[in-house]
Structure 1
């Protein structure tokens, strides 16, 4: 089992607390290039600005690269900590299978990418007044390069930190599956509270962020691995960055379209979480033969007697 295999390594809870601190240090250090570039452009005044004002100083492609670099540095710190302090392999942090199943990653990636593109184009043709064609070849090509290179690192950091590291750490402490699912999903969603989308659309949009956390946590537990969650999350962020931007989003990019509508949140937030996500779960469950949902989501996490106890020292 995905959580259970953490017992094979050094799983003392203080190691996980240290890991959270190490990740915080990595994220903080990863922000330095963005702050330095903003200071070179604007001077010391940037220290008095909020995050959104600082991000508006630089070219959008450079800003995106530096924002995503923050998560890339955090990912490196996390994986080094897991290897050195927990003596755990990246493979066991990724999946319970003997090797990473990239076909799972690509199935989820294509499923979400196609769905997002189709829904966006339907909305564009149905409500053309809500969009401007924002496409400019050279900035868009640079955006593609930055997004394809860096976006997978950003989503990998979030998945490895929440759905792998914290899921396993809380799971081996609580000896169950439901508590890590709830904690990681709520914390993951809660950390999006300061996104500009929340300020523009209102707190109701938190249903989307927390619901997405639960969706990713459920597919991780049901599939005993991160591959599907990685594909889902990467496609969601990558396609969104390339396809549509708006002045009120966290990622302001040189995308194909720009949303110029007066945004509001209501059924368009609720429907994906309570209707679309269950459909995705049904599709994935049928394809990969998921069974015993109650045990996998709410069952106990018990240490197998066959594990080599010397590996825990």
Structure 2
């Protein structure tokens, strides 16, 4: 019933278009600019970003998401005449235990995977700990990453999945579209330029995972926890010269590592860890009726409000 919750709002086409352009515009502009800019100009912009202190670069990248999340909430509440809870979950209140469990599971699995890789071969990973910069990184990450991942989840798995679902009158179309678009909008990240477009398989696969979580659990809580845990690990644990954000993480991946090898590790990690995560959630939260929840049609008994 997660998608159906949008049916109680005001879904006139111009309201949906305005909200989408106002909130997703940053991704659209970024993607179009990336496609139109010459490779030399793209590389130069990445080099400029790398020349900034890492904490400043992180702040510049994350602060806009605070504004965008507030804008999305405001437009859903005022234009669509819906409360934010309907954008978040089918439960009577947000289940913060679900968010915490998902965050802990993802961070634990990623730490275990890193520890295994480090034990097998640490030649390409160097210790990068500097107390003050790392403390600053922790503070920025804890304060601002919730807004960044919150905006992406509320936009893609929340607003867009619900609105596309209303239009398509089923659940598999919004799952497919939001997952692919989520991946495509990350194509301007510097690691794509270094590793090749094969890394899009990872982004789109992650989009599918988050979408499946949302539909099966009838809420964003698990997706929010996963996304936050994943981004915190990415920022705090290991950095590299070709990552989306170069941070003062605990470890640094050596430049000797071929990008293709890093891509292979990402894909293997996804193929191994993602099924474990889904099965864990399915068992803990008693997920049933997979076919109807992922491929079923909408319940049309809910009334739609119009002008």
Alignment TM-score, normalising by the size of structure 2: 0.90
Matched residues in 2 for 1:173 and 1:287: separation?
32
C-alpha displacement of 1:276: 2.2
**CA distance 1:295–1:24, shift in 2 (3 Å):** closer
Q: How many residues align?
A: 293
C-alpha displacement of 1:25: 5.5
SS at match of 1:129: coil
Q: 1:91-170 maps to which residues of 2 (within 5 A)?
A: 91-170=85-164
**CA distance 1:293–1:90, shift in 2 (3 Å):** same
1:172 aligns with 2:169: no
Contact 1:72 1:150 in 2 (8 A): yes
1:229 aligns with 2:223: yes
SS at match of 2:123: helix
Q: Which residue pairs with 2:32 in the alignment?
A: none
1:43-65: per-residue Cα shift (whole Å, max 9, x none)? xxxx9984312312321011101
Contact 1:246 1:252 in 2 (8 A): yes
Contact 1:178 1:299 in 2 (8 A): yes
Q: 2:291 aligns with which of 286, 294, 304?
A: 294
Matched residues in 1 for 2:115 and 2:65: separation?
30
Contact 1:94 1:227 in 2 (8 A): yes
- Structure 2 portions without partners, runs of 5+: 30-40
Contact 2:191 2:242 in 1 (8 A): yes
Alignment TM-score, normalising by the size of structure 1: 0.88
1:240-289: per-residue Cα shift (whole Å, max 9, x none)? 10011001101100110000041324642433333321221111011101
Matched residues in 2 for 1:139 and 1:302: separation?
51
Contact 2:27 2:185 in 1 (8 A): no
SS at match of 1:275: helix
Matched residues in 2 for 1:15 and 1:254: separation?
42
Q: 1:1-313 maps to which residues of 2 (within 5 A)?
A: 1-24=1-24, 50-260=44-254, 261-263=256-258, 264-265=260-261, 267-305=264-302, 307=303, 311-313=305-307
Matched residues in 2 for 1:121 and 1:238: separation?
16
SS at match of 1:56: helix
Q: Kindly report the root-mean-square deviation, in angstroms, between the aligned alpha carbons of the 2 structures.
A: 2.0
Higher relative contact order (CA 8 A, sep 6+): 2
Contact 2:28 2:185 in 1 (8 A): no
- Structure 1 portions without partners, runs of 5+: 30-46
Contact 1:26 1:73 in 2 (8 A): no
Contact 2:133 2:248 in 1 (8 A): yes
